[in-house]
Structure 1
Amino acid sequence: MVLKYISQPFLLLCLLVGFSPSHGLAEKLITADNPHIRYMGRVDLSKPGQAGVSWPGTQIDTVINGGELGITLDDQYGKNYFNVFIDEDWHTPIVIACEQGRKTYWISRYLSAGKHRVTVSKRTEGEEGRTLFVGFNVADKGKLFAPPKLPHRKIEFYGDSITSGMGNEAALYSGDAELAEKNSFMSYAAITGRKLKADYRLISQSGIGIMVSWFDFIMPQFYDQLDAVGNNETAWDFSLWRPDVVVINLFQNDSWLVEKRLNPVPSDSERINAYKAFLSSVRHKYPSALIVATLGSMDATRKTSSWPGYIESAVASLKAEQQDNRIVTLFFPFEDYGQHPRVFHHQRNAERLSAFIAKKMNWKM
């Protein structure tokens, strides 16, 4: 993947951001509530003229003409990164490094004549803050057109830093914490969604667990939110969007933390019951979805780990109690790499997961 990073200082030098265009073109802002802008993911559209974007992998799509493209964002902390793809060139994103506050990021002043599809994807996650998408900036005579419709297939992913893509673009054996190297678009989840031609959503947060997290809230308290910035009072309406498949990739952080942060330390049966309770909650929200309980590919799936067994026991118990045959397990193997998986790990796991789901759902890939 070829990356082109832009930020406000770079644009001032290279794209004349902040100056009137010297080539005589005027520009206008088309706001986020335009009917030709399409969203994929949990997006807060409660305020006119803007869209609250916080979950990793959230996408904004449109088609433009007019030769110019800018994107106006209002970022909470100045920590978020976004991919911008032109004409479905998924291998060559332009990457926006957000600054705090409202800024216009010029992607191009010189797009070729005709229509161009524009896709914006949030690389980072809720812990980097929310971003208000204000709108697209186009040439004065530019217009927006309806983008392609979202796919009919729907997949929702619940996960932690692995699902969010933390560190996936870092070099092998280097650190995992650089925000510029976190790219949810290249996580196993997003790759799987695209392979299966699905409308997908990543409900994920680095460091989160089912029983315990690196912070003071857990996934059962978090997964029902509209907004992904911390544990908050926003509520997602589950009736608005019902997935065909739900993938749960959790328990990695629990495996690290239960004996360090919980007192008393939960027993095996308590670990199984905690997972089972979360499964039951998801099943209640989505009575007919296929639920894939997975784990990996970090060390919670090493050969000596008990954690896949806890998941298998929870699934077996729930299936027996509810006569529910639409809950299955699939584990990603630990590949003796102790850090966050890199893009090539994600690609391998996406191949495994995509083939598994396609077979279970009788979907053609």
Structure 2
Amino acid sequence: MKRLTKTFVLAALLHAGLACAAVAVAPSDKHLLYTGRIDFAQPDAPVITWPNTAIAGNFTGTSLSVTLDDEKGKNYFNVFIDGDTASPLIIEAAQGSKKYDVIAGLAPGKHSFLITKRTEGEEGATVFRGLELADGGQMLAPPARPKRRIEFFGDSITSGMGDEAPMNGRDDVVRDKNSYLSYAGITARALNAELHLTSQSGIGVMISWFPFTMPDFYDQLSAVGNNDTRWDFAHWTPDVVVVNLLQNDRWLIGDRHQLQPEPDDAGRIAAYETFVKRIRQLYPKAYIVCALGSMDATKPGSQWPGYIKSAVEDMRKGGDQRIDTVFFPFTGYGQHPRLKHQRDNAEILTAFIKKKMNW
């Protein structure tokens, strides 16, 4: 009888353990909403590299955990719960695979989450391994995907380098980089548009701070350096494209004269126009906004806005009427745009696109 009692007790304990087991959510779960250039070669191991890549969902339960497998241990992610975008929970990814207990103690019932990559390809790739909900939790129908689409091709300004740093702080602290709060992210949300952020700090059109340029980089599936992966442009087509490049060209050519033989004015215009025409080939119907700023490439007397104007005017003469320019004024601040500058730039760009697109 004693042995039988022990057997019943053990069975009850095992049953209780199973009843309290967390609920695993696979990356391939149909209720997850992904946004961005993501490598889905392995559906249950999607690879995230581009800034502001996002995963969203709705669920029931009192807790949420996220499992990430990070290449370098340098990436940061925002997790927003129940639409509270003012109070992100930040994941500092460790190298390798790890489960992050994001939040517990939620009230029973329906909740939402949004995960966004704060950092860039230069911080390495991250494999999303799935979620874990509290006992009894379940995924619900995903959020609606925005009908409008916008893509940005840019550099550190677009990626949000240093945007959360103090005004008197350094630019290069990785934790202070938050692509969600760059002018690109703010603009997309203001327009209720789905965002693809094709950007990399230090990149230029003719020259970069490393051995590849945007014409080498723009068509990659992976944002980790210069590689042979290829993005399928037929998979996702934007309504609006914003190109904010040439700040690094200005520094490296205009100040440092590191590109030799150094291109003259005509060569600079041609290089920029060639890239924008390639974007036009890929997206024949998109409205293209050729932007610049708000660092010193747009300071009074700078030649670089003029190069962009000349390229756009030439394309218009060739029959392209869905293209224009926007220049964010240089404020005199000598470092990368902080949150205030990013918001100001977003306000300018949002108003411009609303008018042009009748949004």
**Class of the TM-score when normalised by the shorter of the 2 chains:** over 0.9
Q: How does 1:86-105 map to 2 (within 5 A)?
A: 86-105=81-100
Of 206, 227, 234, the match for 2:229: 234
Supply the distance in 2 between the matched residues of 1:109 and 1:75 (Cα, whole angstroms).
23
Over 3 Å off, 4+ runs: none
Q: How does 1:98-137 map to 2 (within 5 A)?
A: 98-137=93-132
Given the alignment of the two structures, is residue 265 of structure 1 paired with residue 262 of structure 2, yes or no? yes
Of 297, 300, 314, the match for 1:300: 297
Of 216, 220, 225, the match for 1:225: 220
Number of aligned residue pairs: give it. 340
Question: Which segments of 5 or more consecutive residues in structure 2 lack a partner in the other structure?
Answer: 1-16
Supply the distance in 1 between the matched residues of 2:23 and 2:358 (Cα, whole angstroms).
46
- Corresponding residue number in structure 1 for 2:76: 81
Given the alignment of the two structures, is residue 209 of structure 1 paired with residue 204 of structure 2, yes or no? yes
Contact conserved, 1:117 with 1:147, CA < 8 A, in 2? Answer: no
- Corresponding residue number in structure 2 for 1:189: 184
Deviation (angstroms), 1:274: 0.2
Deviation (angstroms), 1:27: 1.3
> 2:85 aligns to what SS in structure 1?
coil
Deviation (angstroms), 1:337: 0.5
- Corresponding residue number in structure 1 for 2:335: 339
- Corresponding residue number in structure 2 for 1:179: 174
Supply the distance in 2 between the matched residues of 1:284 and 1:337 (Cα, whole angstroms).
36
Contact conserved, 2:188 with 2:195, CA < 8 A, in 1? Answer: yes
- Which whole-Å deviations, capped at 9, do the CAs of 1:38-84 have from their partners, x for residues lacking one? 10111111103121111001110011112121000000000000000
- Corresponding residue number in structure 2 for 1:246: 241
Question: Which segments of 5 or more consecutive residues in structure 1 lack a partner in the other structure?
Answer: 1-21
Of 331, 352, 356, the match for 2:352: 356
Q: Give the TM-score of the pair, scaled to structure 1.
A: 0.92
Deviation (angstroms), 1:173: 2.4
- Corresponding residue number in structure 2 for 1:283: 280
Deviation (angstroms), 1:174: 1.4
Supply the distance in 1 between the matched residues of 2:232 and 2:103 (Cα, whole angstroms).
37
- Which whole-Å deviations, capped at 9, do the CAs of 1:168-211 have from their partners, x for residues lacking one? 00000211000110000000000000000000111000000000
Deviation (angstroms), 1:164: 0.3
Of 33, 36, 39, the match for 2:34: 39
Supply the distance in 1 between the matched residues of 2:20 and 2:332 (Cα, whole angstroms).
55
- Which whole-Å deviations, capped at 9, do the CAs of 1:287-338 have from their partners, x for residues lacking one? 01000000000000000110000000011111112x1110100100000011
Deviation (angstroms), 1:286: 0.2
> 1:260 aligns to what SS in structure 2?
coil
Q: How does 1:139-150 map to 2 (within 5 A)?
A: 139-150=134-145
Q: Could you say which structure has the larger radius of gyration?
A: 2
Given the alignment of the two structures, is residue 324 of structure 1 paired with residue 320 of structure 2, yes or no? yes
> 1:310 aligns to what SS in structure 2?
helix
Supply the distance in 2 between the matched residues of 1:38 and 1:71 (Cα, whole angstroms).
15
Supply the distance in 2 between the matched residues of 1:216 and 1:129 (Cα, whole angstroms).
17
Deviation (angstroms), 1:353: 0.2
> 2:257 aligns to what SS in structure 1?
helix
Contact conserved, 1:57 with 1:202, CA < 8 A, in 2? Answer: yes
- Corresponding residue number in structure 1 for 2:12: none
Contact conserved, 1:173 with 1:339, CA < 8 A, in 2? Answer: no
Letter matched to residue 336 of structure 1: G
- Which whole-Å deviations, capped at 9, do the CAs of 1:209-243 have from their partners, x for residues lacking one? 00000000000110101110001111101011110
Q: Give the TM-score of the pair, scaled to structure 2.
A: 0.93
Letter matched to residue 46 of structure 2: A
> 1:345 aligns to what SS in structure 2?
helix
Contact conserved, 2:160 with 2:182, CA < 8 A, in 1? Answer: yes
Moved more, 81-90 or 253-262: 253-262
> 2:317 aligns to what SS in structure 1?
helix
Supply the distance in 1 between the matched residues of 2:201 and 2:25 (Cα, whole angstroms).
34
Contact conserved, 2:23 with 2:138, CA < 8 A, in 1? Answer: no
Moved more, 252-261 or 177-186: 252-261
Letter matched to residue 224 of structure 2: V
- Corresponding residue number in structure 2 for 1:7: none
Supply the distance in 2 between the matched residues of 1:237 and 1:93 (Cα, whole angstroms).
32
Query: What percent identity do the matched residue pairs reach?
Result: 54
Supply the distance in 2 between the matched residues of 1:104 and 1:334 (Cα, whole angstroms).
43
- Corresponding residue number in structure 1 for 2:154: 159
